[in-house]
Amino acid sequence: MNKIIYILVLLLSFSGLLNGQVPIPAKDQDKPIIVMNATAHLGNGSVIDNSAIAFENGKLTIVADASTISVDMSKYDVIDATGQHVYPGFILPNSQLGLVEVNAVRATNDQSEDGSINPNVRSIIAYNTDSENIPTMRFNGILLTETTPVGGTISGTSSVMELEGWNWEDAAHSTDIAMHLNWPGKTRRRFDFSTFTVSESPNQNYTKDVAALKKHFEDAKSYGQLTDRAANLKLEKMQGLFDGSITLMIHASGPKEIIEAVNLAKAQGVKKMAVVAGIPALYISAFLRDNNIGVIIPPVHSLPTRPDQDIDLPYRLPHLLTEEGVTVGLSHSGMLANARNLPFYAGTAVAYGMNKEDALKTITSNTAEILGISDRVGTLTVGKNATLFISEGDALDIRSSVLSDAFISGKRITLDNKQQALYKRYSDKYGH
Amino acid sequence: MTNFKSCVVLLILFMCALHMTSQETFPRNDVLDDRVDAYAFTNATIVVDHNTTITDGILLIQKGMIVGAGNNIDIPSGYTRIDLAGKHIYSSMIDLHTNYGMPEAESRSRGGGFRGPEQIMSDTKGAYNANEAIKSHFNASDVFTIDKKSAGDWRKNGFGAVLTFRADGISRGSSSLVTLGESSDNKVVLNNKAAAHYSFNKGTSSQNYPGSMMGFISLLRQTYLDAAWYNNHKTKPFTDQTLEAWIDNQQIPQFFDAGNWMNVLRADKVGDEFDVNYIIKSGGDDYKRVAEIKRSGASLIVPVNFPDAYDVSDPLDAEKVSLSDMKHWELAPTNPSTLEKNNINFALTSSGVKKKADFMANIRKAIKHGLSESKALEALTTIPAAMLNMQDRIGKLNEGMVANFIITSGGLFDEKTEILENWVQGEAFRYKPLDKSDDSGVYTLSIGDQNYNLEVSGKPGAQKFKIIINDSTKVDVSSKIDKELVTLGVKDKKEDKEEIRLSGWKTSSGWKGSGQLVDGRWVSWDATRKSDLPSEETSKESDRGKKGKKSVESKDEEIGKVIYPFIAFGNEQLPSQEKILIKNTTVWTNESEGILAETDVLLSDGKISRIGQNLRERGAKVVDGTGKHLTSGIIDEHTHIGGGGNERATNSGMVRIGDQINPEQINIYRTLAGGVTAAQVLHGSANPIGGQSALIKLRWGESPENMKIAGADEFIKFALGENVKRSSNAASIRYPQSRMGVEQVYMDAFTNAVEYEKKWNTYNALSDTEKSNTDKPRKDLAHEAMLEIVNGERFITCHSYVQSEINMLMKVAEYFGFRVNTFTHILEGYKVADKMREHGVAASTFSDWWNYKWEVRYAIPYNAAIMHREGVLTAINSDDSNMGRRLNQEAAKTIKYGGISEEDAWKMVTLNPAKMLHLDDDMGSIKVGKDADVVLWTDHPLSSYARAEKTIIDGKIYFDLDKDEKARKDLRIERARLIQKMKGVKKKGGKTQRPNSRIQLEFHCDVEHYSHIINHD
């Protein structure tokens, strides 16, 4: 019966695809579902070998060892996942998913606004649920993203989106959760075409730029203290940083810059903050740990930034920072379409020293914690959203990651998309 | 005898007089006023050249020429005698790399980026060359004029003559040899066309082509060919004044401004092709590859611009400085001595030394690092003179040569030596008095009726005056001596503020004069010498001097070793070929045997020699492969590491990536660590017809030439679509602007090539007499490349995306009777896979890239699977060095997307690319007799959890996890040593520079998404 429904869903989605559309958004969960006998990776470091995972009305109701529970199976749609694996939905932070369609085509880009200080700019309203990139992310288990504006000094606020929904209001998981600050660099990089090299020189404007930022925070604070104030959209939005409703996401290029940025924010009374940084974070891991600052790191599949660095440093970075007691979340930058390889970044981290379940945390619970959404997603925990998927094999290893089913807040989503449709169309043409 | 000698001298004098009054043609605004200008320098140590020194000798000059040097020379009457007892005379130094007296360089935004409208044609007005960067028609002497300020700076530092040219263009025209005198432009120019100059820098040319090293080289090569062709015509086909100058300039010495060791080798190779021996200006880093430099046989002009130490006080900031920059700081001063040890002919230049005053300090540094003084002198005088074929006129102190010399207080390279005078063409420039009187002693100083004991001590020229109160107390006297005159300020007590001010003149016994007391009254004063300084004083003084000297001279300092390549993870010794027996492992043969469990593989003599079970081999290094996997090395069909780049011309088929292979790129090592053993280094994709590829093995540490795969077939890059129609540049005006135009570019190029062949065939069929009456056709490097394609001697790898253009190129090829070898990227290959199979073209694709630009909206990760199933030879390629080190994971994506079998997936990064590159006879599988290019993996090679444990090429272990671990440790220790050494420099007050990094970026042909950082395609 389940299989028939599944095939029907597939057929429906293909018919949609034939018209060049993304898969039809799923209906709300109308019946309890239980996934039996899978190896469940909870996202908090533990594994249940023979699990029972049930959810109802979009929320997890059972996460347990199948042998320890007794339930009335007739109440549920039962999915037998013997030999398969269940994971919490992966979270893609600091991404332009939904904002950028085809990077090289300017008309399809909505990730960056004019001007330098844009705290009031909100990415969520540009988030395009019909982006063709989105279904390809889901295909590999990415079920949530932080859709993030870029550019300027303060780019605006990001929101966490479920990768499912008719429109951005449907898809919104948490609105305006983080404000993105691009901290100036102490050095400037200059590209020399003749030698194809980048050289660094001191940023003469650094002190001035930092002073201007400090003034902006001070202005926002004094604005907040006024009882009778003329509305200022920029300063108004900044208040969220002081009351803890918005996380300050600091993008900084060097270790000293990170320290100065965090200290300035702290001194200005910013309640919650996190850092987006790569290898430089390693040099000041004690500072990050002591200040309880989580770090979103750039693609694990990157090259080292300096020739003298260990050749596998980007691969080992999640492990090294984790060992130092820093909370690490993985992200992707560069070609947007490649963000779908986020799970395999965690896989590579495993090849370079990390325990598999710890690596899983860097794309689930750690990220949820850093984004301040861990109360609802990030782990398979009773009461949290039923945002999860089933994979035939290890979902962190490319060669075995084959998703068989996925749910976002209990909604059973269509995994196939345009790419599978084209595969089928041409396989049929050639009679493969 | 003596009489005869004086006769000769007189005769020479007479000739010189004739010679030097050569400005007879100029009008006069006075009565005739010729001077004798004859000087005899006596009692001097005359260093005639680096081999010959005359002690207590006499140097005679007259009218700016040397008329004699020796011990027993009669000084004819009329000569002014100058006593140089204790002084040295050297021929003044010559610098061959200067722009002295040239107008300020024109600053013009240089072309060559990928933004804005292209400039296809030359902007130069007049009947000059087609390419703006070829400026052979320029002669430095046309614009040269004496620059007194600059000349003064040169002379003060011991130079007498320089070669001056305008550093603008690939061909820079001719230079002039000029002295640093100030008499007149006509006199100082010794040779108005002394040498012809070339470089790898297009200078102010804003023409698009060339814009890369390979383009500079191909432009030079084509210009040599064009000049020969032009010269060959009885009636010139058109007038090209640049080519005419180029042809004329071939008669004079040829100088090449290369700038680093790689470019030295590149320049030399161009020279070899056209029988030109360039004298090459190096980058001072020749020590990095001295064996190759030596082998080139080139003579060099070598700078001594040794870098300052970095300020490494802050460990975080110090991280920016790379090992190679640190090591270069340490090793650069050894460069001249390394060249000397290797018997490489070289001259030294001050070029690149910021302050001329630092030049001699750096020469001394080089001497301290092993350069002999004799070689240093030779490299500053006779060698540069000989390089210009001017060894009979400058560079030595022999009879008949130009009187260009310096008078020094001691040996030229002695730290204490001062240049006292610099004579240029007989014209004297004086800096320090030849004689400084020694006034030391004890004097009675009488001021009015007051007497003091005055002590004068210290070295001549810097003597100190003190009033002796008693044995332990002395009061300093302020003093100023100006030759015969003296000014003193005398105090009774140290604490006194007021001074008695004295002014006076020298007498035979001391000084005498008048002064003013503190209350304003005038008095007479004198100082009369009564005794020498007490001997105790002198000895104390000199003791202190010695001690000071000792502390300056450091012990033999430790110098690090040269590593290959000269960057982090380079090795002191290159790996050697070993006999290696890998035991008990899972072997992915890529042959009909499939995957063999628990198998042994023996590598010997760089080949796979045996495959089997329980193999034994005496002397073999045994590697336990239990639980591991052995595969043939990964071959990347599409990379840009180690020398990628993009030329600008629509048809850039003449340029060769092989001309710009750069083995000093860290990404070669990183890629090696990803199990890659061989790769095709491709030209970029901004042109329908790109440059010729290079096939390399990742032989880490080898020279550029040794990276290349000997005997490999020749390939060339083509490209289609958005990049070639310059979609990312809205201002582009370059043909083609549409896919329609792209086809016509190909039709045109191949049609021309066929016509070209006909023309040559006709010419070659002529008899010798007919040939001598016929103009030879022009040899065109681009046409040649196109013709090779048509004739099946060169194979196309074509960057491609959408089905229409893929289909088009196959039809063009079929029309001209050849086949496209490979479509690379080929993201819509799945739509025309059947046509591709029929055509017989291979496909090398990205595993899962899509949607980064308009033409890849329909790219699907199943592309490889569909093409493979349809019977197209399919590979997965990287394009960038980030992905290039994980091609095993990329291959695994064909399993995830499309369900390809593991063996077939693996072949997509090994055997299949080997076939596409026609390398499968030697590579691509584990088969007896093939190259020992294998990788031992820690895990299933297609798993995300696998790491390459050993990467072996030609039976040499180029990467090994254990060795890498050790290399990291060694790197840390070597950096720490250098950092401590640099800290030492700072502590001693030496100059330091801000930590800086220069990071080599990777070229990449499809990085529109990086375009905010890098302006290229």
Residues B575-590: pLDDT tens digits?
999 999 999 999 999 9
CB distance A399 to B895 below 8 Å:
yes
Listed in sequence order, the residues at least 6 apart from B420 whose beta carbon sits closer than 8 Å to its beta carbon are B87, B406, B407, B408, B409, B430, B431, B432, B433, B434
Distances (CA, A) of A188 to A198, B222, B312, B993: 10, 40, 19, 17
Task: Please name every residue paired with B61 in a beta bridge, in sequence order, or none if there are none.
Answer: B39, B66
User: In this predicted structure, which of A368-377, B462-471, B503-512, B952-961 has the lowest mean pLDDT?
Assistant: B462-471
CB B148 within 8 A of CB B182: yes
> What confidence score (pLDDT) does residue B17 get?
43
pLDDT tier for residue A21 given thresholds of 50, 70 and 90: confident
How many CA atoms are closer than 13 Å to the CA of A400, on its beta-carbon side? 15
What's the pLDDT band for B471 if we cut at 50, 70, 90?
confident
Q: Which residues pair with A79 in a beta bridge?
A: A35
* d(C-alpha A382, C-alpha A386), whole Å: 9
**Spatial distance between the Cα atoms of B945 and B961, rounded to a whole number of angstroms:** 15
Could you say which of B968, B998, B1001 has the minimum Cβ distance to residue A310? B968
Distance from CA of A255 to the nearest CA of B (A): 8
When CB atoms are compared, the residue of B893, B968, B1008 closest to A103 is: B1008
Nearest to A351 by CA among B589, B934, B896, B888: B888
Span of A225-239, B111-125, B998-1012 with lowest mean pLDDT: B998-1012
Assess whether pLDDT exceeds 60 at residue A14. Answer: no
Nearest-by-CA chain A residue for B829: A426
Selecting from B667, B830, B975 the residue whose C-beta is nearest the C-beta of A303 gives B667
CB contact under 8 A, B997 and A430: no
User: What are B650-689's pLDDT values in tens digits?
Assistant: 999 999 999 999 999 999 999 999 999 999 999 999 999 9
For residue B747, the 8-state DSSP code is H
Cα B297 off chain centre by: 17
pLDDT (mean) for B918-939: 98
Facing residue for B896 by CB, picked from A133, A334, A398: A398
- Cβ–Cβ under 8 Å, residues A58 and A410: yes
* Gap from A418 CA to chain B (nearest CA, Å): 9
**Average of per-residue pLDDT across A97-121:** 96
Q: Residue B32: exposed, middle, or buried by beta-carbon count in 10 A (0-12, 13-18, 19+)?
A: exposed
How much is the average pLDDT of A217-234?
Answer: 95
- pLDDT number for residue A20: 56
How many Cβ contacts (< 8 angstroms) between chains A and B? 185
Rounded to whole angstroms, how far apart are CA atoms B789 and B951? 34
β-strand partners of B731: none
Token reading at B28: 């006069």
Interface contact A255-B852, CB threshold 8 A: no
Record: contact A337-B889, CB cut-off 8 A: no
**Structural tokens at position A422:** 């084209």
In angstroms, the separation between the Cα of residue B897 and the nearest Cα of chain A is 9
Measured CA to CA, the distance from residue B208 to residue B110 in angstroms comes to 9
Radius of gyration of chain A (CA): 22
The SS3 call for residue B517 is: coil
- Here the tokens at position A182 are 């691009």
Q: Using an 8 Å Cβ cutoff, are A403 and A140 in contact? A: yes
Other CB atoms within 10 Å distance of the CB of residue B398 = 16
3-state helix, strand, coil in chain A (%, to 5): 35, 25, 40
Of A374, A373, A380, A385, whose CA–CA distance to A411 is shortest? A385
The backbone torsions φ and ψ at residue A171, rounded to the nearest 5 degrees and listed phi first, read -80, -15
Which residues have C-beta within 8 Å of that of residue B462, sequence separation ≥ 6?
Answer: none
Residues of B in contact with A101 (CB under 8 A): 851
Question: Using the beta-carbon criterion (under 8 Å), do B866 and A423 form an inter-chain contact?
Answer: yes
Residues B735-756: what's their mean pLDDT? 98
Compute CA B922 distance to the chain's CA centroid, rounded to the nearest angstrom: 36
Alpha-carbon distance of B479 to B496, in angstroms, equals 17
Contact (Cβ atoms closer than 8 angstroms) between residue B674 and residue B948? yes
Are A399 and B944 a contacting pair at CB < 8 A? yes
Tell me whether the omega of the peptide bond preceding residue B210 falls within 30 degrees of 0, making it cis. Answer: yes
Q: What is the pTM of this model?
A: 0.92
Measured between CA atoms, the residue of chain B closest to residue A151 is B1012
Q: Which of B669, B858, B996 sits opposite A422 (nearest CB)?
A: B858
Are the CB atoms for B410 and B416 separated by under 8 Å?
yes
Strand-strand pairing, B309-310 and A187-192: unpaired
Q: What CATH code would you report for A2-87+413-430?
A: 2.30.40
Name which of A39, A35, A75 is nearest A52 in CA terms: A35
Say yes or no for a CB contact (<8 Å) between A351 and B939: yes
CB contact under 8 A, B861 and A419: yes
- Report domain extents, chain A: 2-87+413-430, 90-377
Q: Is there a contact between B945 and A423 if contact means CB atoms under 8 Å apart?
A: no
Q: Which residues pair with B263 in a beta bridge?
A: none
pLDDT at A2 over 70: no
Residues of A in contact with B1000 (CB under 8 A): 195-197, 307
Examine the pLDDT at B1017 and tell me if it is beyond 50: no
State the pLDDT confidence band at A415, using cuts at 50, 70 and 90: very high
User: CB–CB of A39/A47 below 8 Å?
Assistant: yes
d(CA B762, CA B768): 13
Is it true that the peptide bond before B736 is cis, omega within 30 degrees of 0?
yes
The nearest alpha carbon in chain B to A300 belongs to: B882
- DSSP one-letter string for A231-290: --HHHHHHHHHHHTSSEEEEE-SSHHHHHHHHHHHHHTT---EEEE-STHHHHTHHHHHH
Q: Which chain A residue lies closest to B672 (C-alpha atoms)?
A: A311
**Among B998, B985, B949, which residue's Cα sits nearest to residue B673?**
B949
What single-letter DSSP state applies at residue B395? S
State the DSSP string of B598-620.
EEEEEEETTEEEEEESS---TTP
CB-based contacts of B32: which residues, under 8 Å, 6+ apart?
none
Residue B28 CA, chain-centre distance (Å), reads 49
Nearest CA in chain A to B851: A102
User: What pLDDT score does B109 carry?
Assistant: 53
Name beta bridge partners: B98: B164
Of A105, A347, A402, nearest to B944 by CB-CB distance is: A347
Q: Is A276 left (phi over 0), alpha (psi -120 to 50) or beta?
A: beta
Residues B635, B681 contacting (CB under 8 angstroms):
no
Chain A contacts of B883, Cβ < 8 Å? 301
Q: In whole angstroms, what is the distance from residue A98 CA to residue A118 CA?
A: 19
Rg (CA), chain B: 36
The larger pLDDT score, comparing residue B67 to residue B463, is at B67
pLDDT reported for residue B558:
86
Q: How many CB atoms lie within 10 A of CB B181?
A: 22
**What does CATH list as the number for A90-377?**
3.20.20.140
Q: Which of B316, B568, B1002 is nearest residue A308 as measured by Cβ atoms? A: B568
pLDDT for A307 beyond 50? yes
What stretch of H or E contains B525? strand B522-531
Query: Which residue in A90, A16, A109 sits closest to B851, CA to CA?
Result: A109
Per residue in B979-1005, pLDDT tens? Answer: 999 999 989 988 899 888 777 666 665
Predicted local distance difference test score (pLDDT) of residue B544 = 46
Cross-chain Cβ contact A305/B999 below 8 Å: yes
Other beta carbons less than 10 A from residue B81's beta carbon: 12
Which of A196, A311, A419 is nearest residue B1000 as measured by Cβ atoms? A196
- What distances in angstroms separate CA B695 from CA A70, B662, B663, one per listed residue? 65, 13, 13
- B109–chain A nearest CA distance, Å: 13
| Number of other CB atoms surrounding residue A242 within 10 Å | 16
Nearest by CB: B670 against A196, A311, A340: A311
Residue of B nearest to A402 (CA): B896
Q: Which residues of B are less than 8 Å from A319 in CB distance?
A: none
Residues of B in contact with A419 (CB under 8 A): 850, 860-862
Q: Which residues of chain A lie closer than 8 angstroms to B569, CB-CB?
A: 311
Q: Residues B888, B889, B892, CA angle at the centre, nearest 5°? A: 95
The terminus-to-terminus CA distance of chain A in angstroms comes to 29
Distance from CA of A244 to the nearest CA of B (A): 32
Q: How far apart are CA B274 and CA A138, in angstroms?
A: 61
Torsion of CA B429, B435, B436, B442, to 10 degrees: -170
Q: Contact at 8 Å (CB) between B134 and B150?
A: no
pLDDT, tens digit (0-9, with 9 covering 90-100), for B790-818:
999 999 999 999 999 999 999 999 999 99
Beta-carbon separation of A399 and B895 below 8 A: yes
> Going from the N-terminus, what domains does chain B have, and what CATH number goes with each?
93-310+344-364 (3.20.20.140), 441-532 (2.40.128.120), 634-923 (3.20.20.140)
For B1007, the closest chain A residue by CA position comes to A335
Instruction: Measure in Å the smallest separation between the Cα of A343 and chain B Cα atoms.
Output: 10
Mean pLDDT computed over A13-27:
68
Q: Distance (Å, rounded) from C-alpha B325 to C-alpha B327?
A: 5
Contact B466, B477 (CB under 8 A): yes
Chain A positions touching B945 (Cβ under 8 A) are 347, 350-351, 397
Q: What is the ipTM, given to two decimal places?
A: 0.95
Least confident of B211-225, B469-483, B643-657, B836-850: B469-483
